[in-house]
Amino acid sequence: MAVILLSIREKIVMLKRLFDFILSLIGIIGSAPLWILFALAIKLEDRGPVFYTQSRVGKGGRIVQVYRRWEVGSRKADRLSY
């Protein structure tokens, strides 16, 4: 059985990372119901898809598909003429 000796600083860094991960997970799970409400608001406001794909050029000229979400009113702003 190998014994792993860590310095105090390494232990603190590991605990901070664990704490950050757990807090982030709680935040994501806790805010999930809001995501559903926002998606519903987008759907009702704009009558279009909540998510769309966009082609972008990545490293080395490779085409990459990016999934994005519409923001409330974003399509309406595109239709305005100045």
d(CA 68, CA 74): 12
Compute φ and ψ for 73, nearest 5 degrees.
85, 0
Residue range of the domain that includes 40: 8-75
d(CA 68, CA 53): 6
Q: What is the pLDDT of residues 29-67, one digit of tens each?
A: 999 999 888 888 877 877 777 777 888 998 889 999 988
27 in a domain, yes or no?
A: yes
- Report whether pLDDT(71) > 70: no
51 in a domain, yes or no?
A: yes
pTM: 0.50
* Number of domains making up the chain: 1
81 in a domain, yes or no?
A: no
3 in a domain, yes or no?
A: no
20 in a domain, yes or no?
A: yes
